[in-house]
Chains A and B, each alone.
Chain A
Amino acid sequence: MDALLALWDGAFGSAFAFWSATLVRTTPLVLVGLAVALAFRAGVLNIGAEGQLIAGAIAATALAQWLDVMPTIITVPAMAFGGMLAGAAWAGIAAWLRRRFGVLEVISTLMLNFIALALLSWVVRGPLQEPTGIYPQSATIVANAQWPFLLEGQRLHLGFAFGLMLAAASWYWLARTASGFRVRVVGAGPRAAASAGGVDVARTTFGVFLVSGACAGLAGASEVGGVTWALYDGISPGYGYTAIAVALLARLDPRGVVVSAFFFGALEAGAAAMQRDAGVPAVIVQVFVALVILGVLAGTHLRDRARAWRLVTRREAA
């Protein structure tokens, strides 16, 4: 009971907990959650959001160092765009492998995650290491490159606004535009999309792959610019993997991604507090999260079964 209270307090107990812990953890989950959801909607099983996030974080750090004399109005957009480009490029490797050689993206993106981790490990000990050369991390980025906070005295930063805007844009894209509709039909029925709709399936999946990588790359840039202000080995505590759960819980709907990212953000913020205040290991929360995901997946399956059953019985009655 104490543990649950600590969990609740850590996530919602105070203005600080809400604005500076929960929503700050929600931010990267919204962005990577969108990355996974968009890819999955097109039938692209991109499980490499982690690697694309790291690519974005590296690029954003490099840009922040390089543009250190520039004003915020230049640096921050440059970091955001640079992060997106790097994420898209990292995803582009897997997208190209799939298009050119038919390499399964489940394998290539997963492998690219490990390569990205190794790359990160190298840059923080090499080209981007802090000037003293002692610690395996980059120098803290200059104040001009730090992303503005959204609220006085709270740690919630610009990245959250990007997340919400991107979620709204993704929803509009899928629901209303022709190219977003192509993404949906390619995911739901690639043969019909090609045969009945004349959709270029390979081109569509390639494009979505890049967009997905860009979203994850932006998450990396937003972490460096808004939270850590530096690059180091453990920059992502597995956001790219949690994102898969976020996207599945949201049933791949961009609006739902915001909600489920918030749910996971609150759990993570609360888990940290629970460990600190009640001495309950945060792993318990991870077990709980895993149970939630299993429950959601089983629930979805049962609902589909029930619907199919109703259809059959109705048709036989008719």
Chain B
Amino acid sequence: MSGDEALVLRDVRRSFGRTVALDGASCTVRRGTIHALLGENGAGKTTLMRIAYGLLAPDAGEVRVNGAPVNLGSSRDGIALGLGMVHQHFMLVPAMTVAENVALGGRGRFERDATATRIEALGRDSGLALDPRARVADLPVGAQQRLEIVKALAHEARVLILDEPTAVLAPAEGAELLRWLRRFADSGGTVVLITHKLRDALEFGDDLTVLRRGRTVLAGSRGEMTEAQVITALVGEAGLPSALRARTGALTPSAGEPVLHLEGVDYIDARGVTRLHEVTLEVRAGEVLGVIGVEGAGQYELLRILAGRLEPTRGRATRPTRVGFIPEDRLHDALIPELTLTENLALATAGSAHGTLAWEATRRSAAEIMRRFDVRAEGTETPARALSGGNQQKFVVGRERHLAGAALVAENPTRGLDLRASAKVLDEIAGADGDPPPAVVVYSSDIDEILAVATRVVACYNGSVREIPRAADPKDRTPYARALLGAH
């Protein structure tokens, strides 16, 4: 069956406002294969597949399904052409039953018994058993995912697009899903597997396409490429502005007093999933600890425990009373866009303040932060939303450093910023001075950024944290990429 093409995307471009998500991405998916679409966070994988499926219209480029060029308008078109998509965040109605969810999007009357029979038959044929009468909200995550696939199969999908399907599953469930996908492909179906897990892609992919910053940087069949090639394509050669690269190595690891200390820390989230297990970590004054990890590897919780925003379930965390924290989603977690800069400065101490607020003094501090950290805005009484992303982030960094001298934790601090603003923000975080200099922790999904600023690097994988020794060749990214995947 192989040889003919189920899905072809050629030179696809797409922007959201001023952000370019896809800048000439291509992907050719052969029928009867598992096609792994790889890339780091924000590389454009999901956008590309949403275009293939018809959820988004491309600005330019060509989409072919089964050899015929199509002008995909809405998701219904994708379904009609035999495409099925399983989104990372499930598109299910939790209050409705399995049968009702499968029937959604169909036409005509809802025949409950007929649908139930069909789901049972599909379950027998495909090996994806489900109770048609169960309420979706009561199903475990793995079953909800099976339902998403059954939904697609019920609509006669022969090409399944799965967006990070194993991210939400326990390892055993994930392996089972991948084996099922293998059987589906062997029986003539086609699978596009969007993933940032290199190991899954290398093990199960017949063909690979690697996206970086909206472009296809590597494409071909698995057999024709080496692991090293794929890793290089994924993380890139140093693609950083010179301002950053010049600083690499300029920082000397100093051994000041320990500032942040975790001892045997476990964290179990509200759903009962263990996010961190037995983490012991120390960050000293003057150090810049780089943290790397794929989505959901535990860095989210690690950073918040270090910053005092979460308490460990077990173990001990020693921190200064106040740790500066720069969260990834600055417009929701760090700033209130409608409030002025002065008010956003007061926000950071709102939880512990008493009595009346000294607005005049706060205004002066805000002005001082704007001056010291080069925040470009009309004045301290400008609402935060009127600032550009870079200036917003400089204000957040300035505020956190102003309020917490001893320790600073930053999560993807350059997200959404252009290169120049990124370099400035990283400078202010990693180059933070003081007496003693602060202990700094930076997480970034961009390994180049971490290598540029960190004096030490740890990797999160599946809830554990492991230090990565510096490679002899500072340009060699292989040990970091391997650590991301949990390989030693």
Contacts and interface: CB of A to CB of B under 8 A. Distances in A.
B333 A197 contact: no
Interface string B308-344: 0100000000000000010100001111111100010
A182 B355 CA distance: 12
Nearest to B352: A198
Interface stretch (A122-130, A184-192, A262-270): A184-192
A contact residues, range: 20 to 34
Contacts of A184: 339, 343
Contacts of B385: 311
Contacts of B348: 196-197
B163 to A, nearest CB: 25
A176 interface: yes
A220 B106 CA distance: 54
A195 B326 CA distance: 10
A178 B336 contact: no
A181 B353 contact: yes
A100 interface: no
Contact of A196 (B325, B338, B355, B386): B325
A182 B351 contact: yes
A289 interface: no
B355 A178 contact: yes
A176 B346 CA distance: 12
Given A197-B350, A199-B350, A185 B356 contact: no
Interface string A173-210: 00011100110110011011101111110000000000
A178 B337 contact: no
Contacts of A177: 355-357
A192 B333 contact: yes
A178 B352 CA distance: 9
Contacts of B356: 176-178
Given A191-B332, A192-B333, A197 B355 contact: no
B354 interface: yes
Contact of B333 (A178, A195, A198): A195
B347 A196 contact: yes
B17 to A, nearest CB: 9
Contact of A195 (B309, B337, B346, B352): B309
A42 B346 CA distance: 17
Given A197-B348, A197-B351, A311 B386 contact: yes
A200 B353 CA distance: 12
B2 interface: no
Given A195-B327, A197-B351, A199-B351, A188 B338 contact: yes
Most buried by A among B337, B350, B351: B350
Interface string A7-28: 0000000000000000000000
B281 to A, nearest CB: 22
B350 A185 contact: yes
B349 interface: yes
Interface in A259-318: 311, 315
B388 interface: yes
A310 to B, nearest CB: 10
A316 B353 CA distance: 39
Contacts of B351: 182, 193, 197-200
B416 to A, nearest CB: 14
Given A195-B309, A197-B349, A198-B351, A189 B357 contact: no
Contact of B347 (A176, A185, A200, A311): A185
A311 B391 CA distance: 15
A152 B346 CA distance: 48
B324 to A, nearest CB: 10
Q: 9 closest pairs, A vs B, by CB?
A: A198-B351, A189-B336, A178-B353, A197-B350, A195-B333, A199-B351, A191-B332, A188-B336, A197-B347
20 contacts: A178-B356, A178-B357, A181-B350, A181-B357, A189-B337, A191-B332, A192-B332, A192-B336, A192-B347, A195-B327, A195-B333, A195-B334, A196-B327, A196-B348, A197-B348, A197-B349, A198-B351, A199-B350, A199-B351, A311-B385
Given A178-B356, A315-B388, 19 more contacts: A176-B356, A178-B353, A178-B355, A181-B357, A185-B336, A188-B338, A189-B335, A189-B337, A189-B339, A191-B333, A192-B332, A192-B335, A192-B347, A193-B347, A195-B334, A196-B327, A196-B334, A196-B347, A198-B352
Interface of A: 176-178, 181-182, 184-185, 188-189, 191-193, 195-200, 311, 315
